[in-house]
Amino acid sequence: VQLQASGGGLVQPGGSLRLSCAASGSIFSIGAMGWFRQAPGKQRELVAAVTSGGTTNYADSVKGRFTVSRDNAKNTVYLQINSLKPEDTAVYYCHAAVRTTGWGNWGDYWGKGTLVTVSS
């Protein structure tokens, strides 16, 4: 199973970005998908997640500015980021809980990360 993230870049404060992450490979089913981020010198933290049924969860610091969504037919999760702040600068990692068979356990899979830099 591979997760390929894209959409990062350099943006000015107040700007917007849309991150995408597509899962591919030997996939039987996908549970929760989401985004984490890691800023320099800090631990990785959950940003937002969405279940297969569409229930979402957000970190308090991004509520009202970030929107997570998914397209189950495309095995893809998105993160719409608005009103960006310098403190949002980080490497953003996508995550998916995946079963590769109908009888297997859930496994955690990660994308390689995409850098978001917020600076004027």
Q: Which two tokens stand for residue 88?
A: 């949002």
Per-residue pLDDT tens digits for 9-56: 999 999 999 999 999 999 999 999 999 999 999 999 999 999 999 999
With a CB cutoff of 8 Å and minimum separation 6, the contacts of 92 are 5, 8, 19, 35, 36, 37, 47, 79, 113, 114, 115, 116
11 and 116 in contact (C-beta within 8 Å)?
A: yes
Q: Distance (Å, rounded) from C-alpha 16 to C-alpha 62?
A: 13
Distance of CA 41 to the CA centre of its chain: 20
Per-residue pLDDT tens digits for 51-104: 999 999 999 999 999 999 999 999 999 999 999 999 999 999 999 999 998 888
What is the model's pLDDT at position 104?
Answer: 83
